[in-house]
Amino acid sequence: MYQRIDGTHYQHIWLTGDLHGCYELLLTRLKALKFNPYKDVLISVGDLIDRGPDSLKCLELLDERWFFAIRGNHEQMAMDALDHQEPTLWTLNGGDWFEHSSARERDVVIKRLSECHALPFVIEIATADKTHVVAHADYPAAHYGWQQVLDWHRVLWDRQRLSDHLAGHHTIIDGADDFWFGHTPLKHRYDAGNQHYIDTGAVFGGELTLVQLQ
């Protein structure tokens, strides 16, 4: 599941690292950046939910015309938990907020997470001079291709490429100008060639990284 965004429709394009329920922090950052919801757009690298204080509010961002998101492994764990009535993995990874919600809130969350089945795994963004590709953990191929078939489990979970980068063993992805990932919390944004990792652990007290693509 791929989605394309035409950057010419927007004045500014921003990309945010993993939110994990940090709704108020996001709003604070957007206000400081003078984000204009009528002209700008914000794209999330996934993991809207779990661990932080406002998972439901972050899910509700999907209603905003100025907000797009790809699917993260935490959305996938939540959907799987509800689809198969097996919440253990989700609960162990920060999904306990769902059980602590009121019955009314749980009904809303169930509806919202059902809608997450429509979230793409990959977003391609065309700006005036570049093609950007956003995926949650990795784009597990040496070449990017629109609608190319991938191992979606690796798109959501794989850390091998990042581990190789950090060990000094760099691999190339061609077919687009820049690739943007979240998933692995780091102290600082990490760049290796045309690959960029922007989960800087906001929910763990780190910075919420926002990147301006246009």
Distance from C-alpha of 28 to C-alpha of 169, rounded to nearest angstrom: 37
Q: 17-44 b/e with 16+ CB inside 10 Å = b? A: bbbbbbbebbeebbeeeebeeeebbbbb
Active-site residue, 9 included: no
Catalytic residue among 9, 20, 74, 169: 74
Q: Are 2 and 149 in contact (CB under 8 A)?
A: no
Q: How far is 191 from 162, CA to CA, in rounded Å?
A: 10
Residues with a catalytic annotation lie at 74
